Amino acid sequence: MTGKEKLYLYSRFERLWHWLQGGLIAMLLLTGFEAHGTYALFGFERAYTIHNWCAWTWVIGSAFAIFWLIITGEWKQYTPTTRKVAEVIRYYAVGIFRGEPHPVPKSVRAKHNPLQRLTYLSLAALLLPLQMATGLLYYYYNAWPEMGIGTWTLQTVAVLHTLGGFALLVFVIVHVYMTTTGHTPWAHIKGMITGWEEVEHPEAVQDWEKKSA
Amino acid sequence: MNTTRGVRRAVAAMACAAALFLALAPPARAQVPQRAPRWITTDHSMHEALKKPFASPEEVTKACLSCHNQAALQVHKTIHWTWLCPMAPEGSGLGKGGLVVNNFCVAVKSNEPRCTSCHAGYGWKDGTFDFTSEEKVDCLVCHDSTGSYKKFPPGAGYPVMQPTQFGGKEWLPPDLNNIAQKVRRPGRANCGACHFTGGGGDGVKHGDLDTSLLKPSKDLDVHMAQDGANFTCVRCHTTEAHKISGRCYKTPASNTRMSLLQDDQMHKITCESCHSATPHKNGHKANDHTDKVACQTCHIPEFAREKPTKMSWDWSTAGKKKDGKPFTIEGPYGKDSYDTMKGDFVWKKNVQPEYLWFNGSMGNVLATDKIDPSKPVELNLVYGSRDDKNSRIYPFKVHTGKTPYDTELKTMVIPHLFGKDDAAYWKTYDWDKAIAAGQEASGLPYSGKYGFADTIWYFQTTHMVAPKEKALKCGACHAREGRLAKLGGFYMPGRDHASVVDFAGWGGAALALIGVLIHGLMRLVSGGRRKEG
């Protein structure tokens, strides 16, 4: 155990996109559950309008994000792996309480541990497309007959969209909590704000990855 | 050079002034100039045929027909004359001139002289009226412009010919000569004379038609408002050969949904004719509702907004006397809540409509139809369903009642209410005699046993369109307990949810929250211990 090293993990675009998504998800959940009838906050029409604006912003932002992932090659960060998954799970279930080091320290080329990779990949590849698809179908309900799906029921789409919303809510709860599990409660959050994250056990990190200045 | 600059400055200043004027000026549609009707090509006061004293209203009609020689024959074919559904097969009895019963004054037969004061004719006092007579057509009730032509309430369609006392006021004979010379296309007061006071009083029947529409404010009716578009009834209820468009019985007001841009020759004006099927701002979700939700549903948030309307009529309590005399009790809004002649009433103002799927067609229970009195009897039926592509959700006034029926034969009955004879209910207050006489006059059997059935009558709410600012907000229906809470068979966002999904979803979120809290707590505790150690 020596000093901590600072790594530049999150580029400006990533940080922007992360916080934008965070804000969008928060607003979408807030307005989505109002439109669902759970509570009254903005009023149905405003909730609906905000929900749509956020949804379209997200769709457009996603196009940029996909472009960015391809161009930068950062998509590789999300390659799923089962290597060390068991260790990571064991760490969060047991090791973390014993002060053990994280089995997969962050590095510039692998800033997500295998559990994160699986989570974010399923989010980006399954849950978000499901939400966007069901959301778009919901929005274009009147065009269903022209789309050749006139026999579908709105309830099916609504239920799927609601389930997706709940899944995102669960993700947000766990995700926000997990950000506090760095070597200090703020370490991960600071990293996502400044781009620089303090990483413990730098022996696992190669020299060229370290902050030079 | 200088001149050019000066001109430029002047032009710029003018442009600014014009822009300012445009910005401040009210929208053009608010200023509808009062034009003289462009299609009038004659002055009736100059016609020789009308320059003579008229001894009877029929003489006026004959004078009219001396030029308009097809007019009476045209009127003969309309529901205003026959009081029968023009689409129904002959002899079916569909119409108030037939065997239709409602839960107001029930039916016309045996009560003609009173009811037919709203007939566009003269002298329909019983079953012997000659429906082929041209001179019996009343031209003036629809075409009077003076406001002085009044049919006498118990006069079988005639105005009085001598000053007569009725209903606490004196009825004076009309100046037929003057009235005949000032005829015009029907104004609001002409239609309103019957349609605003149907059921025997202002606003009794329709919650969306009463005398407040004679001079409505913009808040009450955007189209008819005098400071707005200033429509008369016939602006939308367009007319061909005296056939006035509108819904009647089974016939929808319009079978096609078209705008005047698609067919400028159409003669039935609906909301869509002028406003199109996508009347809202481009991209507004309300445009996606017009296939299933009628314009009226959102744009008539309440009916009877200015004057009260009758919501319930209980005939079973009629006939009570105070000191041996008939009496009335004044209730809210200065309206009677009880009348010996008629029973108990409930009047209401600013009433939220009920909402039903409706394809524009209504059915009716006739006095010959079997009814099931064990539950409220729908005396008219609103046709339509969620699965019918011509149906939309429409607002309705629902008038409830307790109405006489034959407990043995299980049919509604036609009571003889009005008349000078002993069988008339309003003379002797004897239901048995009144029903026997009414049924006999209608050619129907009566077992001799009567009771009062709970009944329902529906009125489509379509007038009194409020300004757009007063239209219903989305949340009025898109809410757990909103206005469409009772309308089943489809999923509506905000109203409906799958309980299982919500239970699982909130359960999952709660478990996640509890999980991370426990995990965090354990980290705190174990971290503290390590430090101590």
Residue spans of beta strands (DSSP E) within chain A = 5-8, 196-199
Whole-angstrom distance, CA of residue B466 vs CA of residue B485: 23
Interchain proximity B512–A174, CB inside 8 Å = yes
CA R_g for chain A? 20
Tokens of B489: 């068979």
CB–CB contact A97 B522 (8 Å): yes
CB pairs under 8 A between A and B: 88
A158 chain-B contacts, CB cut-off 8 A: 491, 493, 496
How confident is the model over B73-85, as pLDDT tens digits?
Answer: 999 999 999 999 9
- Residue of B494, B504, B515 lying closest to A37 (CB–CB): B494
Domain count, chain A: 1
Taking CA atoms, B135 is separated from B61, B62, B65, B121, in Å, by 6, 6, 8, 9
Residue ranges, chain A, pLDDT below 70? 1-3, 200-213
Identify the pLDDT of residue A211.
Answer: 53
Instruction: Give residue A179's pLDDT.
Output: 93
| Distance between CA atoms of residues B142 and B244, nearest Å | 12
Instruction: Quote the distance between the C-alpha of residue A122 and its chain's center.
Output: 10
Q: Is the CB of A44 inside 8 Å of chain B's CB atoms? A: yes
Q: Which residues in chain B have their CB less than 8 angstroms from residue A177's CB? A: 516, 519-520
Please tell me the predicted confidence (pLDDT) of residue B468: 95
List strand residue ranges (DSSP E) for B202-303, in order.
239-240, 243-244
Which pair of structure tokens corresponds to residue B30? 């608010």
Predicted pLDDT of residue A109: 81
Q: What is the mean pLDDT of residues B348-361?
A: 96
ipTM of the predicted structure? 0.90
Instruction: For residue B171, count other CB atoms closer than 10 A to its CB.
Output: 18
| Cβ neighbours around A21 below 10 Å, total | 18
Identify the three-state secondary structure at position B260: coil
Q: Do B494 and A173 touch (CB under 8 A)?
A: no
User: Which residue of chain A comes nearest to B531, CA vs CA?
Assistant: A99
Q: Write out pLDDT tens, residues B22-61.
A: 455 444 444 444 555 667 889 999 999 999 999 999 999 9
Handedness of CA A87, A89, A95, A100 (dihedral sign): positive
Would the CB atoms of A36 and B493 count as touching at under 8 Å? Answer: yes
Q: Which of A99, A159, A177 sits opposite B498 (nearest CB)?
A: A159
> CB-CB: which of A98, A170, A180 is closest to B509?
A170
Q: Using a CB-CB distance cutoff of 8 angstroms, which residues of chain B are in contact with residue A99?
A: 526-527, 530
Q: Which among B450, B419, B426 is positioned nearest to B436, based on CA atoms?
A: B450
Report residue B453: phi and psi, to 5°. -95, 145
**What is the model's pLDDT at position B13?**
58
Q: Is the confidence at residue B116, as pLDDT, over 90?
A: yes
pLDDT of residue B214: 96
The nearest CA of chain B is from the CA of A120 a distance in Å of: 17
pLDDT score, position B1: 41
Domain with A124, as residue range(s), is: 5-209
pLDDT tens profile B424-479: 999 999 999 999 999 999 999 999 999 999 999 999 999 999 999 999 999 999 99
Predicted TM-score of the model (pTM): 0.88
According to the model, what pLDDT value does residue A187 have?
A: 86
pLDDT digits (tens, 9 = 90+) for B140-191: 999 999 999 999 999 999 999 999 999 889 999 999 999 999 999 999 999 9
Contact B519 A44 (CB under 8 A): no
The answer to whether A154 contacts B491, with C-beta atoms less than 8 Å apart, is yes
Q: Which CATH number is A105's domain given?
A: 1.20.950.20
- DSSP-derived secondary structure letter, A20: H
Query: Residue B297 pLDDT more than 50?
Result: yes
Nearest CA in chain A to B475: A44
pLDDT reading at B501 higher than 60: yes
* Predicted local distance difference test score (pLDDT) of residue B144: 97
Q: Tell me the pairing of strands B377-378 and B354-358.
A: unpaired
**Per-residue confidence at B298, pLDDT binned at 50, 70, 90?**
very high
Hey, what are B54's tokens? 């008229």
* Whole-number average pLDDT of chain B: 91
The encoded tokens of residue B105 equal 């004054």
What local confidence, expressed as pLDDT, does residue B30 receive?
Answer: 46
Mind listing the pLDDT tens digit for each residue in B313-344?
999 999 999 999 999 999 999 999 999 999 99
> Is the Cβ pair B508, A97 closer than 8 Å?
no
3-state helix, strand, coil in chain A (%, to 5): 70, 5, 25
Which of B280, B519, B522 is the best residue to mutate to test the A interface, defined by the most A CB atoms within 10 Å of its own CB?
B519
Say if the Cβ atoms of B512 and A40 lie within 8 Å.
Answer: no
Tokens of B448: 């001799």
